[in-house]
Structures are given as structure tokens and as C-alpha cells.
A and B are shown apart, each in its own frame.
Chain A
């Protein structure tokens, strides 16, 4: 019964957005309390105050999405969860500044509220200086990679090292020194200062995450384009047999090495010992029997194209030296000739077999040509008066 009441209460809390926030804040408080329980001996392990702070930081309770502190709410109210496609750098800068401003105001206020010559004042003073520098850098229009203070990693709290990524703020030392006996007032004060520091740093980190977001959008756009080209490279160009892929890979490797492994898909390919199926086209044969299967081998060839705006291969042309095989009574079985290819699949080969010329079409070309001829004949038939006797 008691469990059901709790479940019902939780249901109400989760159903109402306003109450959900209270529930989240309650989660953080409960988390801190249970972690303190570990520290006070409720568990076999012992959680130091600095580890409890790390837990609150990791669980988004200090400047994160579960934090309902007034500073967090004030700073985060203008930061959008989605990056607008139309946001200019100037607009993004203004948004970031409106996050940093309340944080800077709070760090200055907290610093001034501490007594002179105390470790806590030193800590908050260093924090305030760092936030001031970040704000100046953003205001000056520096890019997210122009200064290490603008990197999110600099401000990220790492529970493993109990330190910020690259921010010389002695949070751990301040807390550990004050909390030699955990129960003292000095320890509580140091923990409150550390909580504030972690919260402020996290808010700066989140603002900088937004500031650096265009790098991610740009990297994704470039990679998506490259991926589309690779898909087209393997799906829309002439199929490469294993030995051809090895040959073209060797060329690609050589080209990529010059740029330390950064290369777009090629816009050409060599063709080597490429077996192909085609059709021998006989114009005089009856409809339905004009094409007969034939086999050829492209001994050596070359195809090239350009990539169009849609990342598809366009304007592809190729040429190959060909050996063609057929089972004919009136000519040599093997003929040699030249193949010309358009758009990777339409090819026409002119061969010579002991002086007798032959024409070999790729099956796609043959099908296309056959369709055109039938269309033409059908059109002609429509123009003639009906010859069917009544």
C-alpha cells in the first residue's frame, strides 16, 4: 500500500513539468544525502567530500540539466537546445555572453563575500579571473579553438583526477584541507565553495559547448558529402573486380599519403582484365532475336568522371582495349578492338576478327537501343493504314 502511494506520488511528479523539476531537484538532494550516508559509514566504502562533489557533478546536479539552482536557471534560460541553421556567429556570441554574464556576476559576488587571505577566496578569485578571460575572448569574437580557455575540455570536471581539464583551480586541495575532520564548519564552507565552483565551471562549459557547435555541424556536413560520394563510387561506377580494386587502391593510397590520409573518392579508375557481358547486335535478325549474348574482356582501360553537386559521378567517359569472344562459324572466335564507354554502363566496342568487323554493345546499351528501334517501328506501324483483311 505504501509502495503504491509512493508510485502514485512519483507519477504525479513526473506528469507535471513543474513538479518534475522539483522531483529532479529532490533527486539531487537525495543523491547527496545517500552519498553522504556512504561517507558516514553506511557502506563498506568511504566517500570523501570531494568524491561526493564529483558524483553531483557527474549526475548533472551542479550546473547540469538537473540543477534547479537560481544561477543555473538564470544562465541557461537563453541557451537553445538546438543549433539554428540560420544563427550567425554574432548571434551565437550574444547568446553565449548572456550565459556568461550572470555567471561572472555570481563569481565576483562570491569571491567578494569571502574573507581576505582565505583559500576559498583564492579559489573563487582564480575562477572569477578565468570566467572574465573567457567572456573577453567571446566578446572579442575569437573562435572556439583560438584559446584553450574556450575549449569545453578545459572546464570539464574529471572525477578520476578530481580536477578540471586544464583550469588551475585548487578545488580538491581546498576541500581536502578543510575537511580533514569532515564535520567541521570549515569543511561545510569549503564544500559550498567547491559546489559553487563546479556549478559555475559547468555553466561555462555548457555555454562553450554551444559556442563550438558549428565545428560539429561542419564536420558532419563534410563527412556526409564524402560518404555520399563513396556510396556512389561503389554503386554507380563500373564494378571493380578484386584485382582492379587492388590496382586502384594502390593508386589511391599513393595519392592519400601526400595528404596524410585525407582524400576524397577518386574521379577516375583503371580497368584491368575486366570480364564483361555484352550483346552482339544483328540488325537484320527478326524482332526478339536481334541480340545474342557475348563475352569480352577489357584488357586495359581507363574511366574518368567529375563529381556533380549531388555527389554523383557525372559526364563519365572511358576507353579500353578489348578482347571479344564469340562462337561464330564464319570468323575467328577471338577478336580485338576498342571499347568506348559512357556513363559507366553504355559501351560500344568495335572489333576485328581476321579482318571482319564486329560490333559489341554492353547489355544496357543493347537494351536501350533495342527499345528505341522497337519504338521507331511501332511508330511507323501506326502511320500505315491497317492491312488486316476484313
Chain B
């Protein structure tokens, strides 16, 4: 039996293969708490598929370091110290240093501003998804959804835009939306607007205008349902916040409940940007479980009880200092100055 595939897309960080195992365990645990699990046991109907792209950023850093090191070594051997070479090679070796600024913040810069690097990442992610979809039995519909976090939301947005852009020749590797589009796209700490690249994709790369929207008909949009989740205290998705107008993507899709906007504020740990921290909140995972199963199996009473229990376990007063600290880091929604955005990112990551 073909299972519904859940692709997990990571954000910035030193992720390695198998990074998603704790997330998978968490989703299983959370799901098992609800009555729906009795009717649709998780592992019988769902399977995870982990997406990896951090190796591309790592490879770039390693290549720069290797190239720089060989030059520095030769400079030492020959007793020559041309300053310009010394300086350039030192810059190139710096990104391989294992600290937050270089390991995490630099990935964001590379993805947004180095289109060659970004396109390799997108192609690799696209291939991982297509390979998994193509491996499903040909005599059944392929059901799949995506849960993306942080930088992964931008990567996912761009990949889905490339896969499902209308009127593109299939020679580019595009897919017909009404045949293969994902059921649910869940964006946690969505930075797709912050990192949108209209220079590269043209005007359609705009996160509000792109193909990545829930469609009211099968041939429209790049997903059936779009869940956008933001933590009020998370400063990272705040600049150029993804906050579409009430008629996005259109009034029909909105009336059908195909766009679900979730704002959470419970704090369980100082790192409110954390993937798992987002998922643990019932306000985040209940809409997902409902859409993946049958909404009536996870009723309002059960959802409300789960929310109440979670909020009781995370009293806001206990984390007042964290909330205050995070508030100080926050930038305005209209912020577009990349120096300030990177400084915020560095400060946040160095604190958690």
C-alpha cells in the first residue's frame, strides 16, 4: 500500500543525514496522543522522507578552505608574503570556521545572494523529492506533503515554484499540478518572503505571486493546503514577514480553508525558532494531522484539550525573560537592511 509521504526539510544549521530522526519520533509521539491514531496508525499510513542540502554549503566552505590553505602553505614555503593574496586567502578560509555566524548565517547569505549555489541546492532537493515520488507504486496515486523549517521554507518554496510553475515546458523537469502536487505544505518560521529572489525568478518569484499557493482546483497552485506557522517571539521570520492578504491566493481557496495561518506564543525553551519547538505546539500539529487524515477524527474538543494542556505546561511567566530578550532582537516587519538582518540572526543564534 502506498503511504502518504511526509518530506521533512531542515533549516540552517550543521545538519547531517538522519538529522530528522528526532523530528520523526516527535511527530509519531504527538500523533499517538490523538484518537485518530486508533483508526489510522501512523506507520501504517505515513512514511517520512528526509531532505538534505546542507552538504552543498559544507562542500563550498571546504573547497574554499582547501584552496586557501594550499596557497597559504605555498606562501610559507616560498618565504613570499604578497599582502593581497594573504588577505584574500584568509577570507576564503574563514567560512570553514565552525562557529554560528559562519556555519549558519552564511548559509542564508549563500542561498540568497549566490544563485549558482542556490540553484545547486534547489536541484538537489528537487531530485530527492522526485526520486522518492517515482519510487512509489505506479498503480496508485502518489500522496505527499512537506513540512519545512526556516531556510528550508525558502528552499521548499523555490523548488515547488520550479516544479509546478504553469506553462513551463516539461523539458525543464516540471510536473503537471493536477497529477502530482503535494497535499499539504507546512511552513514553520517561514522566510520565503525574506529570501525571495525576483532577480532570479522574475516577478513570479514573489512569494505572494508564485505558483506556491493552495489551489482551489487540482490544476491550480502547487499544493492543496498551505499551513503557515509563526511564533510571535521568533525574530527570524519577522523581517518581510509572510502575512498574505485575506484574499490570498483567492477568495475561493480561502473560503475552502486551504490557507491556514497559525500564530503561536507558548515558550517551552529559549530557542523558540527550533523545528521541534514549533511542532510540539498543538496549534501547529493539529491542523496538519486533521488534513492528513479525516478532520472529524480530531474534533474541536480533543484539540482544545491538547492546547490547554500544552499551555498549562508552558506558563508564560516562566519564560518572561526569554520573551523580553527575544523582543529586543526583533526587527520591524518592513526591515530590508541585510546588515541588520544578519546581525539579528547572529545575535539570536549565539544566544540559543
A residues apposed to B, CB below 8 Å: 31, 34-35, 43-45, 47-48, 51, 54-55, 58-60, 64-66, 76, 79-83, 144-145, 148, 151-154, 156, 158-161, 165-166, 205-206, 208-210, 212-213, 215-220, 222-224, 226-227, 230-231, 233-234, 239, 241-243, 245-246, 248-250, 252-253, 256-257, 260-263, 265-266, 273, 275-277, 292-295, 297, 325-327, 333-334
Contacts and interface: CB of A to CB of B under 8 A. Distances in A.
Contacts, number: 278
B259 to A, nearest CB: 13
5 closest cross-chain pairs (CB), A and B:
A153-B218, A151-B178, A261-B201, A222-B173, A51-B296
B170 interface: yes
B141 A209 contact: yes
B200 A256 contact: yes
Contact of B139 (A59, A154, A209, A215): A209
10 contacts: A45-B35, A58-B45, A58-B294, A82-B137, A159-B294, A159-B296, A219-B130, A219-B174, A250-B115, A260-B205
Chain B, interface residues (CB within 8 Å), range: 35 or more
A219 B1 contact: no
A158 B173 CA distance: 27
B219 A153 contact: yes
B79 interface: yes
Which of A31, A166, A220, A223 has the most C-beta atoms of chain B within 10 angstroms of its own C-beta?
A223
A79 B158 CA distance: 34
Interface stretch (B18-26, B159-167, B238-246, B341-349): B159-167
A164 to B, nearest CB: 9
Given A220-B130, A261-B161, A327 B115 contact: no
Contacts of B130: 216, 219-220, 223
Contacts of B60: 234, 245
A153 B88 contact: no
B38 to A, nearest CB: 8
B180 A215 contact: yes
B92 interface: yes
Given A54-B294, A325-B82, A245 B114 contact: yes
Given A151-B176, A234-B60, 10 more contacts: A45-B302, A48-B296, A82-B137, A154-B178, A217-B134, A219-B130, A226-B127, A234-B56, A275-B67, A327-B79
B178 A153 contact: yes
A219 B138 contact: no
Nearest to A216: B134
A213 B171 contact: no
B332 interface: no
Interface string B218-249: 11000011000000000000000000000000
A216 B133 contact: yes
A360 to B, nearest CB: 12
B139 A206 contact: yes
B150 to A, nearest CB: 22
A373 to B, nearest CB: 22
A48 B294 CA distance: 11
Contacts of A253: 115, 197, 199-200
A81 B202 contact: no
Interface stretch (B68-76, B306-314, B317-325): B68-76
Contacts of B181: 153
B40 interface: yes
A295 B78 contact: yes
A219 B169 CA distance: 10
Contacts of B131: 220, 224
A249 B114 contact: yes
Contacts of A295: 71, 74-75, 78, 80, 82, 85
Given A216-B134, A219-B170, A80 B179 contact: no
Interface in B43-101: 45, 56, 59-60, 63-64, 66-68, 70-71, 73-75, 77-80, 82, 84-85, 88-89, 91-92, 95
A128 B79 CA distance: 86
B293 interface: yes
Which of B78, B163, B293, B296 has the most C-beta atoms of chain A within 10 angstroms of its own C-beta?
B296
Contacts of A158: 224
B123 A165 contact: no
Contacts of B71: 275-277, 295
A275 B85 contact: yes
B124 interface: yes
